Structures are given as C-alpha cells and as structure tokens.
Amino acid sequence: MDFQQVFGKPPETQASAPGRVNLLGEHTDYNDGFVLPTAIPQSTTVELGLSSDGHHHFYSENLDEQVSILDINHSPSGFASYIFGCIEVLQKAGYIIPSLSVYVTSSVPMGSGLSSSAALEVATLRALRQLLNLPIDDVEIAQFAQQAEIHYAGVQCGIMDQMASSLADTEHILFLDTRTLERRVMPLPENAEILVIDSGVPRTLATSGYNQRRAECEEAARSLGVKALRDITDVKVTEKLPEPLRRRARHVVTEDNRVLEVLQGVTSERFGELMNASHASLRDDYEVSLPALDTLVEILQKTEGVFGARLTGAGFGGACVALVKSGQSKDIATHVLEQYKQAGYTGKILVPSLELSDAA
C-alpha cells in the first residue's frame, strides 16, 4: 500500500535520511568523545500530509502497522515512538505542529546497529521542516532527533547517530567531536572501501546493557573528577578505578585516542589495525560483544584483502564493519559468509547493498 491507499489522499511532502555505520569511536559519543561514522546507501523515507480528523496517524510499510495518536498525553511504543518524539520536541521548542498523517518506508536494516532509528527521526524532522517551513538547520535536526530518542524511546543515546544521518554521506568519513560538534569531512582511506556484514543476531538499543554502560562511564568520570571520560587522555589514569569501571574507562580513553590518530592521517593498513584494536577493546574492556560477533570479526580479520574489522553499533548483536581493498568487498563477503556458515551462523552482506545496486 502507498500513502494514497492508506490515507485517502496524496502526501504533501517527503524526505529521506540514511542509516550510518561507525568505523571508529564506539561508545564514545555519550562520553563527550570523538567518532568516525559514514552514511550507508540504505535510507528511510517519510511522507507527510495533514490529518483531517485532528489526530496523528502513523503507518510503517515495512511493519504493515498503523498507529493512531488519540491521546497526546500517552506516548506510543515501537516505530511510532520515534515519530511522536520528533513532533513533541518541536512543540516543546515552540513550533506549532498540526495533526499529521505519516507514511514510513525504509531500506535501513532494523536491529543491525546501523541506526534505523536515527534515520527515521532525521527523515521525519526533515519532512516536517519542509512541510511547515521550519527555520532549523541540519545540526538542530540532529539535536532534536537525539532528544526525541532519549525522552520518547527511552534510549540514553549520544548524538553521533543523528549527526551522521543528518550530515554524513557515503563517500566520506565524518569526524565529529560530540562535545563541541566540531566536525571535519575526511576521505576514506586510500584504496579502501567499506564492507558491512550482519551477524544474524538482532539487537535492541533500549536494553539494560546499553544504559548500564553509560551509567558506569558517568560513575567513572565522577570518580576521576572530570566532566566526562573524554577529558582523560592518558589511559594510566584509569588504573586507580575499581572494576568494572577501570575497564569501561580504559575502552573509552583508548577508543578516543584511536579516532584522534586517524585524524592525523593514517594508511589503510594502520586504520585497519586501529579497527582490530577497537574490537578487542569492545570485547574485553567494554564487554558488549557476543560469540557470533567475535567469530565474524575473527574470520574477517584473517581474510586476505581485509585491513581490519570490528563490531559496529552498540553491540549485543548486530553488524560488523570491515575496511577492505577497493573492489574486493563482494568477493571477500562471499568467502567470509561461507566460513561463518561453517561456524554455525547465518549472516548477510549489508554494505555494499546488493539490492540497491541490482535496482540501479
């Protein structure tokens, strides 16, 4: 079904936003740290029109699910919570939002750590900006999107995902200082391209694990007398902390330092080494990996043509990202997925997008 079939009239505007994959800087954004995401080819599209009955109506094509907001004091769950959150944060900022009909379709994989939620939020806010001619820029869109996710989806997220969806493209890496929002667009490492493989183990962000890690980092920062762990540059400073705070802080400090090293300019080989070190840190110090992710990363790291690989996203399932030699990603993926299957798992290639390239 399309917008016309669901709501009985054509949409008045539409907007899209991409998912993202993070190459380095995992779990650093809510510690005021540094990140290196890039956009992926898959995107979410939101079509908007005015509702005729005074209520909001949201429809997800992927889920074939419709949600009507009959009581604005009652926040919905699922996909509707992100859209409702975007409307609410705009209203709290003083913008008047009429009753809306919203139609969502997406090619961003859900539960893979590629920020399907941020893509939905940014696409919704872009469509609202167009429909209502709102005077908000792309950074403000990311900030509103983050507030929507925190307050209405219950995820204490940093701003990386929303900034990447709002500002990044698929041809470059976006360096972002999540405290100052200073950013720099950088080319991908020379003679390299990005490969993303889904582990086949779905994950959800609004879990105790993610919010627990954030709380542990905040406790570690308080113990060290700093505003955020980004203010610690020497990893030796973390040694005075009790476990598990010591390992949590050590991951954040070393991960920030890895991103800052890339900022100075590194070869593809060195970039890959930093990705490998990042995965080991996420596995051992931050403890957000799983056997399936470790197996997939290990296979990738041992495969010829792969510079480096790591889990991407919050962890606890989802996808792995690898930096590989240009032009070799599909051959490498075929080999890796066969090895992964022999290990008892079922994965699939997400980037480069076979569906999107076949349709082109």
Q: Per-residue pLDDT tens for 46-69?
A: 999 999 999 999 999 999 999 999
Helix (H, G, I), strand (E, B) or coil at 152: helix
Which token pair is 58? 């949201």
Q: Per-residue pLDDT tens for 277-313?
A: 999 999 999 999 999 999 999 999 999 999 999 999 8
192-359 has which CATH code? 3.30.70.890
* Edge-to-edge strand ranges of the sheet holding 348-351: 306-312, 319-325, 192-198, 348-351
Per-residue pLDDT at 55: 95
Q: Report the catalytic residues.
A: 161
Assign 333 a pLDDT band (cuts: 50, 70, 90).
Answer: very high
For 315-353, give the DSSP string. Answer: -SSSEEEEEEETT-HHHHHHHHHHHHHHTT---EEEES-
Query: Mean pLDDT of all residues in the chain?
Result: 93
Q: Per-residue pLDDT tens for 65-105?
A: 999 998 777 789 899 999 999 999 999 999 999 999 999 99
CATH architecture of 3-187: 2-Layer Sandwich (3.30)
Per-residue pLDDT at 359: 41
Which token pair is 333? 């993926």
Per-residue pLDDT at 148: 96
Q: Is residue 358's pLDDT more than 50?
A: no
CA separation for the pair 230, 303 (Å, rounded): 34
Which token pair is 105? 């379709």
Q: Which residues on adjacent β-strands are paired with residue 320? A: 197, 311
Residue with tokens 């908000």: 136
Which token pair is 314? 């919050």
Q: Which residues on adjacent β-strands are paired with residue 37? A: 22
Assign 357 a pLDDT band (cuts: 50, 70, 90).
Answer: very low
- Smallest CA-to-CA distance from 324 within 296, 343, 347, 352 is with 352
Q: Which residues on adjacent β-strands are paired with residue 308? A: 323
Per-residue pLDDT at 355: 60
CA separation for the pair 124, 104 (Å, rounded): 9
Residues with Cβ within 8 Å of residue 346, at least 6 apart in sequence: 200, 340
Q: Is 181 left (phi over 0), alpha (psi -120 to 50) or beta?
A: left
Asked if 67 contacts 78 with a C-beta cutoff of 8 angstroms, the reply is yes
Reported for 222-227, long-range contacts at CB under 8 A and 24+ positions apart, including other chains, are: 224/249, 227/32
Domain locations in the chain? 3-187, 192-359
Q: Find the mean pLDDT for residues 15-36.
A: 96
pTM summary value: 0.88
Which token pair is 316? 């606890």
CA separation for the pair 162, 179 (Å, rounded): 14
Ranked by mean pLDDT, the top range of 73-82, 94-103, 145-154, 155-164 is 94-103
Residues with Cβ within 8 Å of residue 94, at least 6 apart in sequence: none
User: 230: exposed, middle or buried (C-beta count within 10 Å: 0-12, 13-18, 19+)?
Assistant: buried
